[in-house]
Amino acid sequence: MSKKIPINKPSITELEVSYVNDAIANGWGEKCYDYIHRFEKDFAKYQGTNHALATSSCTGAIHLALMALGVKEDDEVIIPEITWIASAEPILYIGAKPVFVDVLEDTWCLDPQKLEEVITPKTKAIIVVHIYGNLSNMNQIMAIAKKYNLVVLEDAAEALGSEYYGKKAGSIADAGVFSFHGTKTMTTGEGGILVTNNETVYEKAKILNDHGRNAKDPENKMFWMRDYGYKYKMSNLQAALGCAQISRIEELVNKKREIFNWYKELLKDIPCQLNPEFEHTKNSYWLPTVVFDKYLNFDREAFFELCKESGIDSRPFFFPLSSLPMFEDRKGNIVSYDIFERGINLPSYHDLEKSDASKIVNLLIKFINTNA
Ligand SMILES: *Cc1c(COP(=O)(O)O)cnc(C)c1O
């Protein structure tokens, strides 16, 4: 039986173990928030933002962020057609309406021009997603948002460590969110965080995340609140893991870049497109992604079968969200509908070896040669 190669898994060292051991042995009573506060401080410092609010998931952080940014029932929220479902679900929790917009062929991120075409008087917000580490065209998108008075949320769950004109992905718009699920670039098991430079947004999100409790309400009393809220809190144990991981973030991101470059070199003779890195951007390459040229007629389901036999976990490029049964399809989003079936993600966990990458690419080349 050959060694299994998962798509992703965390890098856990003695440092992570010692922090979590300390939290579980000592992080109680008056110390029960210490790692949470330290993690929020360290993360905000890394991002270069004024505020960070740790949460139990990125999905929860998106829900809080949309509410704190003022998205209400019946508002329209623009969102790229290609993303993980978690970017869209919180729009539905609020009773607002997701409007799926096509992506660009080169970045697989929101197309600014097509975005502008769907703006209506009901449009309230834009969620941009930096897919697989790739950067959205933030300069153009922020200019459009300003023109139409819209708020912008960056879903940077897949782009921790990516940079755009010297700024960290997630720190550019009105608010940004990240995920620390075990498959992401850094992990807290499950977890997420909301970052913002806007103090009002931060305060609102914090109150919403604490059952609506507001210490600054003039009528504030113990267990009394004006509005109901939610609870998407991160635990101190998870935050301890997060503190260790964020202290290793340069190492974790550098390894992602190294792994991507192995694939790039190994795939140089295959007619395909990989995650781009344009001038003034740095891609942290969460998932090395391959979109094969059309004429190859790449049958990804057949390739996944072959991978399974070899213990390799390759994944499909996301489906266009509007193609899912609970949404009305928007086949007019031609780029998204054209590329998704030709796209796959390759393993990129921290301890992946160059020989593993070679093994995967050799299998891929053999598959293409026998099937194309
Ligand atoms: C992983 C991911 C999320 C959700 O993160 P959770 O922590 O699992 O809630 C949201 N958006 C994108 C783009 C993701 O990749």
Probe ligand 1: pick from 66, 87, 178, max atoms within 8 Å of CB? 87
Hey, is 196 helix, strand or coil?
Answer: strand
Task: Give the model's pLDDT for residue 26.
Answer: 98
For tokens 């790449």, what's the residue? 298
CA distances from 72 to 67, 76, 122, 152, 295 (A): 7, 9, 10, 14, 45
For 210, the token pair is 């604490």
Beta strand pairing status for 123-129 and 97-101? unpaired
Q: What is the DSSP string of 125-169?
A: EEEEE-GGGPPP-HHHHHHHHHHHT-EEEEE-TT-TT-EETTEET
Distance, in Å, from the CA atom of 164 to the CA atom of 143, rounded to the nearest integer, reads 15
Nearest to 56 by CA among 204, 181, 213, 206: 181
d(CA 216, CA 174): 23
* 317, 340 Cβ separation under 8 angstroms: yes
Q: For tokens 């059952």, what's the residue?
A: 211
Q: Tell me: domain 249-371, CATH 3.90.1150.10, correct?
A: yes
Could you tell me the distance, in angstroms and rounded to a whole number, from the CA of residue 178 to the centre of ligand 1? 7
Please tell me the predicted confidence (pLDDT) of residue 3: 84
Fold of 14-247: Aspartate Aminotransferase; domain 2 (3.40.640)
| Mutation pick for ligand 1 pocket among 91, 155, 160, 238 (CB with most ligand atoms within 8 Å) | 155
Domain with CATH 3.90.1150.10 in the chain: 249-371
Q: Where are the alpha helices (DSSP H) in the chain?
A: 14-26, 34-47, 58-68, 89-94, 112-117, 138-148, 199-208, 236-247, 249-266, 300-309, 334-339, 354-371
Please report the pLDDT score of residue 142 as a whole number. Answer: 98
- Is the Cβ atom of 181 under 6 angstroms away from ligand 1? yes
**CA 213 / ligand 1 centre spacing (Å):** 27
**In angstroms, what is the span from residue 60 Cα to ligand 1's centroid?**
10
In the chain, CATH 3.40.640.10 sits at 14-247
β-strands 175-179, 151-155 pairing: parallel
Model pLDDT, residue 202: 98
pLDDT, position 13: 98
Ligand 1 in reach of 58 Cβ (< 6 A): yes
Tokens matching residue 198: 């806007």
Q: What is the pLDDT along the chain (372 residues), one digit of tens a residue?
A: 578 999 999 999 999 999 999 999 999 999 999 999 999 999 999 999 999 999 999 999 999 999 999 999 999 999 999 999 999 999 999 999 999 999 999 999 999 999 999 999 999 999 999 999 999 999 999 999 999 999 999 999 999 999 999 999 999 999 999 999 999 999 999 999 999 999 999 999 999 999 999 999 999 999 999 999 999 999 999 999 999 999 999 999 999 999 999 999 999 999 999 999 999 999 999 999 999 999 999 999 999 999 999 999 999 999 999 999 999 999 999 999 999 999 999 999 999 999 999 999 999 999 999 986
Task: Please give the number of the atom of ligand 1 that sits closest to the Cα of 130.
Answer: 13
Residue 322 confidence (pLDDT): 97
Q: What is the pTM of this model?
A: 0.97
Strands 97-101 and 76-80: parallel
What is the distance, to the nearest Å, from the Cα of residue 361 to the centroid of all Cα atoms in its chain?
26
Q: Are strands 123-129 and 51-55 parallel, antiparallel or unpaired?
A: unpaired
State whether the beta carbon of 83 lies less than 6 angstroms from ligand 1. yes
C-alpha 157 to ligand 1 mean position (Å): 5
Å from CA of 20 to ligand 1 middle: 23
Ligand 1 touching residue 192 (CB < 6 A) = yes
Establish whether residue 154 lines the binding site of ligand 1, counting it when its CB lies within 6 angstroms of any ligand atom: no
Distances (CA, A) of 85 to 71, 76, 88, 242, 287: 18, 17, 5, 24, 17
Q: From ligand 1's centre to the CA of 26, what distance in Å?
A: 31
Q: Is the CB of residue 129 below 6 angstroms from any atom belonging to ligand 1?
A: yes
